Amino acid sequence: MWMFTVPFWMLTVQIMSAEQMIRAESLRRTFKAGRKTIEAVRDVSFDVAAGELVALLGPNGAGKSTTLRMLTTLLPPTAGSVHIAGFEAAREPRRVREAIGYVGQKNSSGENHRIRDELVTQGRCYGLRARDARRRADEVLESLGISGLAARTPGTLSGGQRRRVDIALGLVHSPRVLFLDEPSAGLDPRSRAGLWEQIQLLRREYGITILLTTHYLDEADQMAERIVIVDRGEVIANGTADALKADLAGDWMRVTTSDAGAARAAAGLAGRMTGISEIAIDGSTVHARIAAADAALPGYLRLLDQDSITVTRAGVRRPSLDDVFINLTGRRLEESGDAHETTADQPIGATHA
Amino acid sequence: MPDRLRDTATIFFREITPELRSPVSMFFTMGQPLLFLVLFGSMLVGADANLGAGTGDVWQWFVPGILVMMCLMGPLSAGHSMLSELNGGQLERLLVTPISRTSIIFGRTGKDTVTLFVQAILITAVAVPLGMELHLPGALATMGLLIVMAVGLSALSYVLAIASRPSGNLFWIVTQMLIFPIMLLSGILLPIDAGPGWLGTIAAINPITYVVDAARALFTGNLLEATVLHGLLAATAIAVIGLTLSTRAMKRGI
Ligand SMILES: Nc1ncnc2c1ncn2[C@@H]1O[C@H](COP(=O)(O)OP(=O)(O)O)[C@@H](O)[C@H]1O
Ligand SMILES: [Mg+2]
């Protein structure tokens, strides 16, 4: 049940929809750890247009959270600049803060506080009057399907419920831009699907601009309109999932012949086709990389037929984003996590709930 | 400026709401001071200790000490909860809103102070049936003095919590190493005069000692002693230092 009232800024969004809502320019951020300097973000630039849903994809430790914290005024960049909705974050942090909602990587409702109390507090922090803050608290609870949790404390909620509460906290003031840091991390597949439904709904109904981070490939692949891949503090690719796959990985044709000799002959034929970028032989099977493999395969089969090469099996494979990442870095994304990924970040005070 | 006031009220009410929703919890956090009061205090009375500043009322000597002790313990747990909100995402969630940064400290400190005030009244109320003679204006003046100190101590514990991120080790090391010596060396539980001379020297550089002495004088109704002035100066110094450091820490950004 969607009960948001249309906020006044919806009108302005329409007017400035051609504009960039998020602009990160040459962002850089280092941390001092003892005598060493950690380069968490080295060079990150990208834009997000109004109404877009963009995913920052990268392994653990790539610098996604640090980038998000710079975009949301929580962390001053070592170098570079941030513009949100036309305001420069370093000069007008207040205007930026008013425009954005942020859902951090950790849970954001206090252990001893009731969910609804926290939502009302959040609304008050954004300058809503007490009555409006209470109304908005009830509205977002309703819209995220968690009205029943209003009087509970976070300690009594499931992971999926807590994440929804976090998102509710980020939406209380009807932001124009929403930043979500790993919104679905640690959720079971069903909660993830539910969460994604909510996020898609937010976009459809209110045209909110969304930038989220994830290290789930399938999630970025299916949900985001555009993907910015970051690795070791740098943007290494930026485009739609389809474009990234086509440009940076290419499709594969796969043809199985009768024996290794025939496979070598088949590979030779593939080498003469235009657009082939890579050929690999695996026993009696030939793999050949080419753009739009489904369109190229019939032609390849005709060539093989003309040379009387027996084909027992043929197919095409669209590359995954994983292939894209491997092509760019030589590593698999899901294995290249940082050694010091946070595992036990139980807040110290979690016991006195 | 009204914005900052409003923001401070927002944080104050966020912090105080859980207490209001279960007032019993406030009573439980008083467990230790209450225990000290009832057990330790009764023993002191039983031992016929000569502690009162001439008045001979051991309770009037002991209760202000317990009140100061609460003012040391309260900020400790406040800093602890701040630390856990710093490490969790709760503080970040507030910092991303347009709320004034310093109001986060002022609102929390305000709540700590109100809680301590209520607890101080409860302790005093419990001590009366135990045999303490209550000097009402004196007791109220004591609370006023302790509020000034509590504001400073709770602000200081927030500075410490901020400086201790992310491990929190610093917070534990400092508090564990400081709280008990400060408590013992300020004469809260036993008179300093009873110890050797070097103890007295250390006590003399401990600002809490002056607050304890002042609280004791006030509690018996001696409002115009030099001790009171010294205590007030010490408490004010703690408050000014605490608020200055915490405001600076918040403005620098977390
Ligand atoms: N406050 C900090 N102090 C020191 N190092 C940090 C801090 N925040 C992040 N880092 C380091 O910066 C790198 C990037 O971290 P982060 O942005 O959290 O990555 P991601 O969100 O992509 O997993 C990591 O190596 C991390 O350990
Ligand atoms: Mg992260």
Mean pLDDT for A173-183 is: 93
Q: Are A124 and B128 in contact (CB under 8 A)?
A: no
Could you tell me the pTM of the whole model? 0.83
Q: Please name the residues in contact with A189: beta carbons below 8 A apart, sequence gap of 6 or more.
A: none
Tokens 């009232």 belong to residue: A5
Q: Are B219 and B63 in contact (CB under 8 A)?
A: yes
Q: What is the DSSP string of A295-339?
A: HHHHHHHHHHHHTT--EEEEEEEPPPHHHHHHHHHSS-GGG---T
Mean pLDDT for B193-216 is: 86
Query: From A105, which residue of chain B is nearest by alpha-carbon distance?
Result: B89
Residue A179, helix vs strand vs coil: strand
Kindly report the protein residue whose alpha carbon is nearest to atom 18 of ligand 1: A65
Q: How many CB pairs under 8 A join A and B?
A: 89
**Mean pLDDT across chain A:** 86
pLDDT band of A32, cuts 50, 70, 90 = confident
In chain B, pLDDT over 70 holds for what percent of residues?
95
| CA-CA-CA-CA torsion sign (A227, A233, A237, A239) | positive
Instruction: Report whether pLDDT(A353) > 70.
Output: no
Q: Are A37 and A31 in contact (CB under 8 A)?
A: yes
Q: Are A321 and A236 in contact (CB under 8 A)?
A: no
Using a 10 angstrom Cβ sphere, with 0-12 exposed, 13-18 middle and 19 or more buried, the burial of residue B177 is: exposed
Torsion of CA A257, A259, A265, A266, to 10 degrees: 20
Q: What is the pLDDT of residue B1?
A: 55
Instruction: Calculate the CA B185 to chain-centre distance.
Output: 16
> Which residues between 167 and 196 in chain B have a beta carbon less than 8 angstroms from any beta carbon of chain A?
168
Q: What are phi and psi of A312, to 5 degrees?
A: -95, -25
Q: What is the pLDDT of residue A6?
A: 46
Surrounding residues of ion ligand 2, Cβ less than 5 A: A 64-65
Q: At what angle do helices B226-252 and B101-130 cross, to 10 degrees?
A: 150
Instruction: Calculate the CA A4 to chain-centre distance.
Output: 25
Q: What is the pLDDT of residue B22?
A: 86
The fold of the A20-243 domain, in CATH, is Rossmann fold (3.40.50)
Instruction: Report whether pLDDT(B107) > 90.
Output: yes
How far is it, in rounded angstroms, from Cα B119 to Cα B32? 12
Instruction: Report whether pLDDT(A339) > 70.
Output: no
Which class is A250-318 in CATH? alpha beta
Q: Are B250 and B161 in contact (CB under 8 A)?
A: no
| CA-CA-CA-CA torsion sign (A73, A78, A82, A88) | positive
Q: Given CB atoms, is B213 within the 8 Å cutoff of chain A? A: no
Instruction: Report whether pLDDT(B49) > 70.
Output: no
Kindly report the protein residue whose alpha carbon is nearest to atom 7 of ligand 1: A31
- Ligand 1 surroundings by CB, under 6 angstroms: A 31, 33, 38, 40, 58, 60-66, 338, 340
Q: Which of these ranges, A1-10, A14-23, B198-207, has the smallest mean pLDDT?
A: A1-10
Interface test with A, best of B15, B83, B94, B97 (most A CBs within 10 A): B97
Instruction: Report whether pLDDT(A18) > 50.
Output: no
**Mean pLDDT across chain B:** 87
Q: Which of these ranges, A104-118, A226-240, B71-85, has the smallest mean pLDDT?
A: B71-85
Residue B76, helix vs strand vs coil: helix
Q: Is the Cβ pair A126, B10 closer than 8 Å?
A: no
Q: Are A105 and A67 in contact (CB under 8 A)?
A: no
Tokens 């190229």 belong to residue: A296
Q: Are A115 and A141 in contact (CB under 8 A)?
A: yes
Q: Model confidence over B141-191: pLDDT tens digits?
A: 999 999 999 999 999 999 999 888 878 888 888 888 888 888 888 888 777
pLDDT band of B52, cuts 50, 70, 90 = low
Q: Given CB atoms, is B99 within the 8 Å cutoff of chain A? A: yes
Q: Determine how many CB atoms are found less than 10 A away from the CB of residue A352.
A: 14
Q: Given CB atoms, is B44 within the 8 Å cutoff of chain A? A: no
Map out the domains of chain A as residue ranges. 20-243, 250-318
Q: Model confidence over A42-91: pLDDT tens digits?
A: 999 999 999 999 999 999 999 999 999 999 999 999 999 999 999 999 99
Q: Are A242 and A291 in contact (CB under 8 A)?
A: no
Mean pLDDT for B85-89 is: 89
Interface test with A, best of B13, B93, B108, B170 (most A CBs within 10 A): B93
pLDDT band of A335, cuts 50, 70, 90 = low
Q: Are A182 and A166 in contact (CB under 8 A)?
A: no
Residue A276 or A45, more confident: A45
Q: Are A105 and A181 in contact (CB under 8 A)?
A: yes
Spatial CA neighbour of B96 closest among A122, A28, A135: A122
Q: Determine how many CB atoms are found less than 10 A away from the CB of residue B179.
A: 15
| Closest listed ligand to the CA of A183 | 2
- Greatest CA separation found in chain A? 81
Type and span of the H or E element at A178? strand A177-181
* Bridge-based pairing state of the strands A285-290 and A251-257: antiparallel
**What's the A31 CA to ligand 1 centre distance in angstroms?**
8
Q: Model confidence over A191-209: pLDDT tens digits?
A: 888 888 888 888 888 889 9
